[in-house]
Amino acid sequence: MAVREILLYPDPRLKSPCQIVEKADGACDALIQDLVDTMYGAGHSVGVAAPQIGVPQRVAVVDVSASRQGRDNHHGLLTMINPIILQRSGTMTMREGCMSVPDYTGNVARAEEILVQFLDRNGRSRAIRCRGFEAVAVQHELDHLDGRLFLDRISSLKTDLFRRKKP
């Protein structure tokens, strides 16, 4: 469909919780396709959530399969409507970045393994277990649906936030 413009922090729409999707219909599928196109179009992204393109709905996509960190442990393209994390275990800290916060990265502690339930783009209920980098990416995108950014999870802005190097 279309590569959409990404909202940048401090846009207030990034800090608002999203609405539950009532029906996985054609409009929802078009939104998912825009998210997929936007994620792949960025060339470096492993996920994007609807509020990042200005749509306040609980929809996100994740695909870590082309990433060095995720290529050996992934479920391929995940298209998630109304996702909920049912279980979390372990803890790991990784350096995260975000298309909505392009100038910074930060060390964020997240669950090492999660069980996430969602509707796929065909409206079927799914529950999958994600580990490692894929689990981190899913948690990052689900935070967007609750109006949170990775910046909100950094324990010390002084020691855990880093300016990206310019090419």
* Rounded Cα gap, residues 134 and 123, in angstroms: 22
Q: In what order do the strands lie in the sheet with 161-163?
A: 92-98, 101-110, 161-163
| Residue 19, H or E segment | none
* Rounded Cα gap, residues 46 and 31, in angstroms: 17
**pTM for the model:** 0.97
- The domain limits of the chain are 12-163
Task: Give the count of beta carbons closer than 10 Å to the beta carbon of residue 140.
Answer: 24
Q: What is the pLDDT along the chain (167 residues), one digit of tens a residue?
A: 799 999 999 999 999 999 999 999 999 999 999 999 999 999 999 999 999 999 999 999 999 999 999 989 999 999 999 999 999 999 999 999 999 999 999 999 999 999 999 999 999 999 999 999 999 999 999 999 999 999 999 999 899 999 998 76
Contact 92, 112 (CB under 8 A): yes
Catalytic residues: 141
Superfamily of chain region 12-163: Peptide deformylase (3.90.45.10)
Contact 100, 141 (CB under 8 A): no
